[in-house]
Amino acid sequence: MSLFSLSVSELQARFRSGEVTPLDAVDALEARIAAVDGGISGYLNRNVEAAREAARNADVSLPLGGGPIALKD
């Protein structure tokens, strides 16, 4: 299963077990967006470096810690 298709609880479990990191999740999500966004233009702006920095500093013990999000305007 791809990281970008996991539920929040599944992703959190993998973070906490050490199987994957929040940075892995950001990179998987960015790869998926790059692969499909050209055809749908779902994102006006992405700041991948800021997302990676936040992922490196994420506290996965928090309820949503480390999970990447997107904001819709």
Q: Over the stretch 41-52, which tens digit does the pLDDT of each residue have?
A: 889 889 999 999
Strand segments, DSSP code E, in 1-73 are none
Which H or E run contains 18?
A: none
* C-alpha separations of 42 from 54, 70, 71 in Å: 22, 10, 11
Whether pTM exceeds 0.95: no
Taking only the tens of pLDDT, the chain with its 73 residues reads 699 889 999 999 999 999 999 999 999 999 999 999 988 988 988 999 999 999 999 999 999 999 998 887 7
CB 43: neighbour CB atoms within 10 A? 10
Query: Nearest CA to 4 among 52, 69, 63?
Result: 69
